[in-house]
Amino acid sequence: MKTPDSVAEALAGRFRIVLVGTQHPGNIGAAARALKTMGLSRLVLVAPEDYPAEEAFRRAAGADDLLAQAQVHATLAEAVADCRYVLGCTARSRRVALDELPPRQAAARALERGAEGEVALVFGRERTGLSNEELQLCHAAVHIPANPEYSSLNLAAAVQVLAYELRLALLESAAAPAGAAAGPGTGHEGPASHAQMEGFFGQLGQTLDDIDFHKGRTPDSAMRKLRRLFLRAALNEQEVRLLRGILADAQRMARLARGGAD
Ligand code: SAH
């Protein structure tokens, strides 16, 4: 039987913290420290501007083991390709059609999804945050409800807040009756991975072109809304296969209507 500790440990292993394009190595070190204090251990760096750097190791204090194991990727898409759930942390509301959650709700959601597969919490650059394209790769945005006139926390401080909320949620779930910590979805077909969803969105975009859905309008706004809709639905692998089968048929019919050979 699982002890509360082993449940917390198993779930903590499912979470990765992804820092995108970090400019100051000191923030990478401080983020590593923030994670370790909260029992998290997996740090992923996407195209850091200055890394490895002595300053990062200095600021990590006793968390340099975590830094030494940090994975480095060239793009966010690569860093989260195997994730089932991706949360993007933003200092301000963006004009991307994305659900926005406060940290506590985000941690609860992350824990639920962590029972089914890998979860990523993504943080942006000090100067410019995450780009809209990067936010589009996320299932939901997380905003710490800070002072609206001064809402941008230091990167490592934002990591600390989210890591703390995750820890609280983990401790709560570990204290809950056996079985509850596994969350919903256990025993069902697994949720679609990030890469599977991107494959689906690629085919959806192509199909909308094939059936002339946009009629000369740019496809961006419709695609953003559709992404939001399908990401909110938390599709499993079987559902994605079903939808892709429907799209394939629509594409075949469009080819026939154009008089092309099938
Ligand atoms: N000037 C940037 C702020 C970047 S702060 C901007 O306007 O977007 C660096 C990162 O810390 C952000 O990308 C975000 O991931 C995180 N962060 C800072 N303040 C936050 C807040 N209030 N809520 C959620 N994340 C925050």
Q: Which residues of the chain have pLDDT under 50?
A: 179-187
For tokens 């099938």, the residue is 262
Distance separating alpha carbons of residues 125 and 24, to the nearest angstrom: 9
Whole-number Å distance, alpha carbon 106 to ligand 1 midpoint, is 15
Q: The domain containing residue 28 runs over which residues?
A: 4-175
Q: Tell me which residue has its CA closest to atom 3 in ligand 1.
A: 129
Q: Is residue 185 part of a domain?
A: no
pLDDT of 183 reads 42
> Do residue 141 and residue 13 come from a single domain?
yes
| Dihedral (Cα; 93, 98, 99, 103), 10-degree rounding | -50
DSSP, residue by residue, 77-134? HHHTTT-SEEEEE-SS--SS--EEE-HHHHHHHHHHHHTTS-EEEEE-BTTTBS-HHH
Q: Is residue 187 part of a domain?
A: no
> Do residue 87 and residue 163 come from a single domain?
yes
pLDDT of 185 reads 42
Exposed/middle/buried for residue 113 (C-beta within 10 Å: 0-12, 13-18, 19+): buried
**CA of 189: how far to CAs of 109, 186, 195, 224, in Å?**
18, 8, 17, 26
pLDDT of 2 reads 54
Domain count, the chain: 2
Exposure of 254 in the CB half-sphere (CA atoms within 13 A): 14
pLDDT of 182 reads 42
pLDDT of 186 reads 43
| CATH number, residue 208 | 1.10.8.590
pLDDT of 97 reads 78
With CA atoms as reference, report the closest residue to 101 among 79, 86, 114: 86
pLDDT of 15 reads 96
With the most atoms of ligand 1 within 8 angstroms of its CB, the residue from 122, 127, 155, 165 to mutate is 155
pLDDT of 79 reads 98
Residues with CB under 6 A from ligand 1: 89-92, 123-124, 126-130, 142-144, 146, 151-153, 155, 158
Whole-number Å distance, alpha carbon 128 to ligand 1 midpoint, is 8
Report pTM: 0.76
Q: Tell me which residue has its CA closest to atom 26 in ligand 1.
A: 91
Whole-number Å distance, alpha carbon 10 to ligand 1 midpoint, is 28
> Do residue 162 and residue 256 come from a single domain?
no
Whole-number Å distance, alpha carbon 37 to ligand 1 midpoint, is 21
